[in-house]
Chains A and B, each alone.
Chain A
């Protein structure tokens, strides 16, 4: 399958944190032709293995997504909203959503009308408490189909912008799952010696839980986490953003300098541009947890710059994605037991 088609399909599947079965199934099926074995673990992480005699290397990108949950049903049938992960409430007013009740129901997110707001409140953004989903149904019909706790899927589109840039929901982090997918395709024509594990982790958005369990399951010698980082947008501090047009390699105390250096050296050798994303501690990605699970795993973090993170118009550059996959594949192909000796030098 072409990478673009994989992206189009994988970003469209609902997979809110904790309810990832459907997307996990899809990813497992997609990974299967390129792996020697694929399994879905007990918490819905997908683990695909390309067998080898060398060290165990794990790659991880999360498959779960942020979203909303029904928190209450008003007397007029309007649904109040709870958060699953950090949805930016600013994006919600006027959005068409799908409520995953007994049937899938389309709805629109409405807000208190502007003329009901005090002048001070008009200067403020709507808070999640001010918002509701309008299903266009009377209370009885709503109550029959929807229960508190049902998931609310944000609007899904996959749109090609200029210059091979794409805007979609859930590029965080399915775009990185796509990087793994593409790398596995490339590895078909290469001769890796390491024992490779490509893991699409669940439950990242609420605390990287899937990465922890997968790490215990795989017990890798090295790991590379893949996640998105912030691409430049107006107003955003330059110190915390990257150019959209090339991958970023994170650097900081939580990340292993030698694994990082291996990746950087390979990148230079095969002409993949990488930027440096400096972190002073927590990276808020699976890397943080993988590094300290199962007795500790030397871990690097490879990042895909993304604009408008945690919205429904997350935007990335497909050429950057492909270059990152090329780098990842080369890294996987070269991973070698001899790296072990360099780790603490």
Chain B
């Protein structure tokens, strides 16, 4: 399954069913054990040949940010609430698709002509943003998109520039994509790839996976915020797209196991894999859940730098995605 196919599927947190099904099908021929656990995670395991080696879990989250329909206006617009951390300032004038039938819709707002100077300054909160599907009245809107319907950004996967892609949901379909690539290999150690749910709403799927798998080592494959364009001072860039896979020493949810962190850096150097260190401790991801589930696990995070990660159109460089995969594989081959 390629990255385009993976990003084309909508999987807002708590509604990962369609992606889960697709990943189950793609993983089936690649692994020895495959099941869906009680948190809705897809767990794919390859038996190793050497049981003295540690059990490594590679993990990526299936879910993406999006919206839930929370109500309807008299004139047939849909009220929305964000699922996951969406900056309301990136929502206006964006295409979405709503519900199972992919009903096309737009997020509109009062025209600039009608805004007062204060209105232009004010950030429209999600209580002032609506999805318009063209419904003529409240009744029709309710019938087509009842409260609780999910809506996703509709930003098609598009390659551009010097090896970049823009799409919705690169966070964390890049990780899912590389998990499937990892499953294609053969390894001495027992390797489990966990495609987990509900990261964006509080690292919830990974808690279940970490608890039941109790891995020795958990390597989380993520997309992380790159802030490297537009005349940004070096120290504020976090990481840079195109400079390779990003290894984290710490973020808001976990500190990397110091040994694993150093191992990843030295492996990347010796194998000639482009890499960088994440230079901020903001954000948080499933490593926090793995590290503290049950008896815990040694964790480390390998991220693909993603620009505009909080929006419906994130950007990543293909070479960074490849570097994430290369380092994952090098790690497994050098345990």
* Contact between chains at A236 and B110 (CB < 8 Å): yes
Q: Mark B97-141, 1 if CB is under 8 A from A, else 0.
A: 000000111111111111000001111100010101111100010
B residues within 8 A CB of A137?
161-162
* Contact between chains at A236 and B93 (CB < 8 Å): no
In this assembly, does B188 line the interface, its C-beta being within 8 Å of a C-beta of chain A? no
In this assembly, does B75 line the interface, its C-beta being within 8 Å of a C-beta of chain A? yes
Give the shortest distance, in Å, between A164 (CB) and chain B (any CB).
8
* Contact between chains at B121 and A124 (CB < 8 Å): yes
* Contact between chains at A309 and B315 (CB < 8 Å): no
* Contact between chains at B308 and A108 (CB < 8 Å): yes
Known: A78-B229, A234-B130, A307-B132. A167 touches B311 (CB 8 A): no
Give the shortest distance, in Å, between A232 (CB) and chain B (any CB).
6
Most chain A CB within a 10 A radius of its CB, from B104, B108, B164, B311: B108
* Contact between chains at A136 and B230 (CB < 8 Å): no
Known: A78-B229, A93-B311, A159-B104. A311 touches B166 (CB 8 A): no
Known: A76-B228, A124-B121, A230-B111. A308 touches B311 (CB 8 A): no
Instruction: Indicate which residue in B94, B238, B282 contacts A94 across the interface (CB closer than 8 Å).
Output: B94
What is the total of A-B residue contacts with beta carbons within 8 Å?
A: 203
Number of interface residues of B (CB under 8 A): 64
Bound complex: CA of A132 vs CA of B231, how far in Å?
10
Give the shortest distance, in Å, between A116 (CB) and chain B (any CB).
6
Number of interface residues of A (CB under 8 A): 64
Known: A96-B166, A136-B162. A108 touches B108 (CB 8 A): no
Per CB-CB distance, the 7 closest pairs between chain A and chain B, nearest first, are A136-B161, A161-B134, A94-B311, A136-B164, A91-B93, A313-B106, A165-B134
6 A-B pairs (CB sep. < 8 Å): A107-B161, A126-B89, A135-B161, A236-B111, A240-B114, A308-B106
Residues of B bordering A, CB below 8 Å: 73, 75, 77, 87, 89-90, 92-95, 103-114, 120-124, 128, 130, 132-136, 140, 144, 155, 158, 160-164, 166, 225, 227-232, 236, 238, 241, 280, 282, 307-308, 310-313, 315, 317
Residues of A bordering B, CB below 8 Å: 74-78, 86, 88, 90-91, 93-96, 105-108, 110-116, 122-126, 132, 134-138, 141, 157, 159-165, 167, 230, 232-237, 240-241, 245, 284, 307-313, 315
